[in-house]
Chains A and B, each alone.
Chain A
């Protein structure tokens, strides 16, 4: 029998959505899922290299948080498991796929790869491959919004930053240091923990003295919430509240999303430690199926509309692969380009 934390309840009133919103969420989650499935296929076919960390199962977090923000204006900061955050932030699938193919048309011009996706245009700060190092960078972006507003008098500088990271990261000093500074200076930032229970092979409960991560906010005087990370409406509702607080200058929020990765840590991970029972219990809570069921139940969508979205996304993903395959390799004469700002 797999022991799980009791799921937090959310208020259904705050989770009301329109048909249009529901379909946007569904499309974003389907894009994340189909894109990652295609990555696995490409990796196993030898088209993609290096460490590739897929996001399957966690889509409700990326979609729920980023769709509660203003994608393209607000900042997003990710980890090595960054493909889907990039997609939710609006980086075109073809640019992400081309990057994974190492091509010159990739969002990082083939210099970054899977764990180093960036897009200044879409306010994606990265793609950070080491644990915790993106949190200070995100905190700096949030500080910048406050600085522009208060020092430079820019009233339009109300951008919010979301920093995504996993349960393993919450035992790292940069997590605590940045929670402290963000609360101290009331920075407009969301610290979003994707607690998928496992840091590669280290079970969360074996790594931390207080497994309920959201409680760690309280010592910094910061609101901390736990939310069902398999429920996009619940994530979105909490994120919306946090975004409102952040924009109003009321400071940061820690959001712990209880979620699960449906694949191994990376495609190189044999994934031998997680039990079959545990996996099956979580597979049964697939966040995409959950949203689909809700949309159908509430008569916000019918099967044909959902199928149409899936078909549209499959085409986008297939085209992304085609774009990646057909794109040029980076020019060897530009090996040294981008070392310095003038290049």
Chain B
């Protein structure tokens, strides 16, 4: 076991996969000599050379399209969005070509590529650098969407994403890169479509992902002391959703709270609520509660920013209210 920082866990995943498969390469802004804006690819160019750690000009739509073309012709590119928000500039290549081209080509081509980088609300980074693109991209057919949350799952999921033959949008969180965790010494790969049960419980199911996992667990620490027993599930895979794990939990607790960092309108939670209503409505003892970020551009001011995202105290109150609600 070695204590590993989150960004180094990602680096290890990329390093191991590049050593294993010479078709794997990284493309993006400052991924080579600079080592990535969060040091995820630090010094890898020294080991693998400039073509495998390709520093691109600042041309998001074009280098993303290049990755699609490289993937169609047999390489396995990893795109780094220096900040995932920048990839709004690559929306067309991600949606039309990474997402849909396999289908429109009638199976002629596959697109094995990973699009990864930091997303989420940081600390006073301003609206453009505080985006949650997972919500915008969830409607695109053909994409898999993953949100990692710990050094352990970041490494195992990224390795799986690189090996997957489909385009995978892989969200890291700008505030989680310095987390530490002891990682197994040997190689491991995690399934891309499985949620993680972070805490088993009986009262209520809390569905969350990415950094909100930590807000939830902070709330749970207080709730435990007062005798509440929530079950916490980190979704990890935002598309497809792991309804086996979600369903098993709901059949047990019959109450659901979703805690997410994306905006409420058209969010990941909105899709989950609809899916729960479709599949598990009869299991519910209360309406699903959705706790999301406010429907506003993330404000710069720190106090306003805190009001924009869901805070642990709000989760505590919500769990108490739902756990004690009469059926």
Known contacts A106-B106, A340-B102; 14 further A-B pairs (Cβ under 8 A): A107-B106, A135-B62, A135-B65, A140-B66, A140-B69, A140-B71, A140-B73, A142-B69, A144-B70, A144-B73, A144-B74, A144-B75, A146-B51, A174-B65
The answer to whether B92 and A133 have CB atoms under 8 Å apart is: yes
Closest to A159 in B: B73
CA distance A135 to B103 in the complex (A): 20
Q: Which residues of B contact A119 (CB under 8 A)?
A: 108
Contacts known (A133-B96, A144-B73, A341-B166); A181 close to B66, Cβ less than 8 A? yes
Question: For chains A and B in complex, what number of residue pairs have CB atoms within 8 angstroms?
Answer: 152
Residues of B6-61 at the interface with A, using a CB-CB cut-off of 8 Å, are 22-23, 25, 49, 51-52, 56-57, 59, 61
Q: Interface of A with B (CB < 8 Å)?
A: 75, 77, 106-112, 116, 118-120, 125-130, 133, 135-148, 150-152, 173-174, 177-178, 180-181, 184, 337-343
Residues of B98-121 at the interface with A, using a CB-CB cut-off of 8 Å, are 101-112
The answer to whether A137 and B107 have CB atoms under 8 Å apart is: no
CA distance A174 to B65 in the complex (A): 9
The answer to whether B68 and A339 have CB atoms under 8 Å apart is: no
The answer to whether A180 and B22 have CB atoms under 8 Å apart is: no
The answer to whether B106 and A108 have CB atoms under 8 Å apart is: yes
The answer to whether A141 and B73 have CB atoms under 8 Å apart is: yes
CA distance A142 to B57 in the complex (A): 17
- Chain B 273-316, CB-CB to A under 8 Å as 1, else 0, gives 00000000000000000000000000000000000000000000
The answer to whether A130 and B96 have CB atoms under 8 Å apart is: yes
Cβ-based interface call for B184 (8 A): no
Closest to B89 in A: A173
The answer to whether A136 and B63 have CB atoms under 8 Å apart is: yes
Q: Interface of B with A (CB < 8 Å)?
A: 22-23, 25, 49, 51-52, 56-57, 59, 61-75, 77, 92-93, 96-97, 101-112, 141-142, 164-166
The answer to whether B61 and A174 have CB atoms under 8 Å apart is: yes
CA distance A145 to B72 in the complex (A): 12
Closest to B141 in A: A339
In the complex, 27 of the A-B residue pairs with CB atoms within 8 angstroms, ordered by the A residue number, are A109-B106, A116-B105, A118-B106, A118-B109, A125-B69, A127-B104, A128-B97, A133-B93, A135-B65, A137-B66, A137-B68, A139-B66, A140-B73, A140-B77, A141-B73, A142-B69, A144-B74, A151-B25, A151-B51, A152-B22, A173-B61, A174-B62, A177-B57, A178-B62, A178-B66, A181-B57, A341-B112
Q: Which residues of B contact A343 (CB under 8 A)?
A: 107
CA distance A184 to B66 in the complex (A): 14
The answer to whether B92 and A177 have CB atoms under 8 Å apart is: no
Contact of B102 among A75, A147, A177, A341 (CB under 8 A): A341
The answer to whether B110 and A177 have CB atoms under 8 Å apart is: no
Closest to A77 in B: B69
Contact of B69 among A108, A127, A138 (CB under 8 A): A138
Closest to A337 in B: B107
Give A89 Cβ to nearest chain B Cβ, in Å: 13
Q: Which residues of B contact A340 (CB under 8 A)?
A: 102, 142, 165-166
CA distance A142 to B65 in the complex (A): 12
Q: Which 7 A-B pairs have the closest CB atoms?
A: A140-B69, A136-B65, A109-B106, A341-B165, A118-B105, A140-B66, A177-B62
The answer to whether B97 and A133 have CB atoms under 8 Å apart is: yes
CA distance A133 to B105 in the complex (A): 15
Closest to B22 in A: A152
The answer to whether A141 and B61 have CB atoms under 8 Å apart is: no
* Highest count of chain B CB atoms <10 Å: which of A127, A146, A147: A147
* Highest count of chain B CB atoms <10 Å: which of A106, A119, A126: A126
* Highest count of chain B CB atoms <10 Å: which of A108, A120, A144, A180: A144
The answer to whether A75 and B73 have CB atoms under 8 Å apart is: yes
CA distance A308 to B23 in the complex (A): 48
Contacts known (A150-B51, A339-B141); A139 close to B104, Cβ less than 8 A? no
CA distance A141 to B56 in the complex (A): 16
Give B209 Cβ to nearest chain A Cβ, in Å: 22
CA distance A138 to B96 in the complex (A): 15
Q: Which residues of B contact A107 (CB under 8 A)?
A: 106, 108
Contact of B51 among A135, A147, A184 (CB under 8 A): A147
The answer to whether B93 and A136 have CB atoms under 8 Å apart is: yes
Give A100 Cβ to nearest chain B Cβ, in Å: 13
The answer to whether A109 and B93 have CB atoms under 8 Å apart is: no
Closest to B48 in A: A151
Closest to B68 in A: A137
Q: Which residues of B contact A341 (CB under 8 A)?
A: 102, 110-112, 164-166
Q: Which residues of B contact A142 (CB under 8 A)?
A: 69
The answer to whether A181 and B59 have CB atoms under 8 Å apart is: yes
